Amino acid sequence: MRLNGLSAFPITPATPAGKVDVAGFRALVARLCAAEVDSVGALGSTGSYPYLTRGERRRALDAALEEIDGRTPVLVGVGALRTDEAVALAQDARAAGAAAGLLAPVSYTPLTDDEVYEHFAVVARESGLPLCIYDNPGVTHFRFGADLVGRLSRVPGVVAVKSPSPAEGDVGGRLAELRSVTSAGFSIGYSGDWNAVEALIAGGEAWYSVVGGLFPRTAMAIVRAIREGDVAEARRLNARLEPLWSLFREFSSLRVIYASASLLGLASAEPPRPILPLAGAARAKVAEVLTGLGLDTEA
């Protein structure tokens, strides 16, 4: 599998007890298929994977795959604290029919490069599921250096990296550095919605998008502009979304997307506790931005 284009990451609606709302999740996934996203990212950070049991994660994945019915590849989060648990989740994903797994080095004790390398090598070997490296240092407190990404790119079955988009500086230089150390055919993609467009313009192959999980047509318009070589239009569309990016930076993308889904009647679930839903002035601010950008009409 070669990951490219828009990989859209929806929330996973669930009860306060952690039981997945299968019908609600399928409805969100159906929107992504209708918008013709390039892949669906199930059970990513936006999908609250660490808060769900193995059984509920399988229920969510099965629901997504049933809804998609082979139309769109599914990338699914398989991160866990223990290597054996990550192996089991990756085996579940392969058995269910997922195209690839998204593996973060989830940890309590800080990990070394060698420990992360071994973790990925074991999960790839024992599951047989193609893996995408999930570099999310804001959550895992582990950052993948270029050398480690290069080493992992030569592990059979490790096929891609999902990197945080550079906030500033030489985006092209960072991408060139990764290309120089990774194996042929290895996909380099980016998350962090408000900076991802510049990384795609520089040559990144995939956009792992939170906004794409709820507003796929909006995100696909940016991806299509880049594919067509219309950099000015891609930047214009991205700049137009700055009020939303500002909300993401202020409240976190997870809280804003849950609030947006609720305001638009797309999902009634709240974020998993202890994360509290946005309320009062913060929720009103989200509603104002959605209306001002016309994102309420995409629902």
Please report the DSSP string for 112-174 in residue order.
PHHHHHHHHHHHHHHH---EEEE--HHHHS----HHHHHHHHTSTTEEEEEEEPPSSS-HHHH
Domain holding 166: CATH number?
3.20.20.70
Q: What are 111-164's pLDDT values in tens digits?
A: 999 999 999 999 999 999 999 999 999 999 999 999 999 999 999 999 999 999
Q: What are 104-123's pLDDT values in tens digits?
A: 999 999 999 999 999 999 99
23 lies in some domain: yes
pLDDT class for 19, splitting at 50, 70, 90?
very high
Catalytic one of 49, 134, 208, 258: 134
Q: Is 134 a catalytic residue?
A: yes
253 lies in some domain: no
Catalytic one of 19, 51, 108, 162: 162
User: What's the rounded Cα separation, in Å, for the pair 108 and 88?
Assistant: 19
293 closest CA partner among 263, 250, 254: 263
Return the DSSP state at 16: T
243 lies in some domain: no
Domain range holding 59?
5-228
298 lies in some domain: no
Q: Is 46 annotated as a binding residue?
A: yes
pTM for this prediction: 0.96
266 lies in some domain: no
What is the tally of helices (H) and strands (E) in the chain? 13, 8
107 lies in some domain: yes
Q: Is 19 a catalytic residue?
A: no
247 lies in some domain: no
240 lies in some domain: no
Q: How many domains does the chain have?
A: 1
Average pLDDT in the 25-52 region?
97
